[in-house]
Amino acid sequence: METLTPGEVAEALGTSPNRVRQLLRDGKLMAVPGSGNSRIPADFLKDGAVLKHLPGLLTVLRDGGFTDEEAFTWLFRADDSLPGTPVEALRGERHTEVTRRAQALAL
C-alpha cells in the first residue's frame, strides 16, 4: 500500500499540511494506525480530493464502535463478495454497498 505524508497529501489536494492535519483530527481522513498521523494511504485520495464518501464511512465505523485500527483493517481487508476491499469499492463508486455493510457490522 502506498502511503503519503501530510505534506504530500496537501500538495495532492492543493491545500496546506495544516488543513490535512485538521482533516485527520476531524475524522474526515485517516492515517495508518501507529504512524502518528504521518502516513496516509494514497488510496484515500482520487482526482485531487479525499474520496467523496470516506468521511461519512469513517463516521459510521467509529459510531459503530470500531477503533481506528479495526476500521483501517476492515477498509483494506479483501472481501470476495464486493469483490476487492471496501476502499477499492469506494474508489469504484460502490459506496452505498460499502456503507450498508459498515452499518450492518456496527449493529
User: 16-75, pLDDT tens digit by residue?
Assistant: 999 999 999 999 999 999 888 799 999 999 999 999 999 999 999 999 999 999 999 999
Parent domain of 100: 3-106
pLDDT digits (tens, 9 = 90+) for 68-95: 999 999 999 998 888 899 999 999 988 9
Q: What is the mean pLDDT of residues 2-8?
A: 96
Domains of the chain: total: 1
Q: What are phi and psi of 105, to 5 degrees?
A: -65, -30
Give the Å distances, CA to CA, from 58 to 11, 14, 16: 23, 22, 22
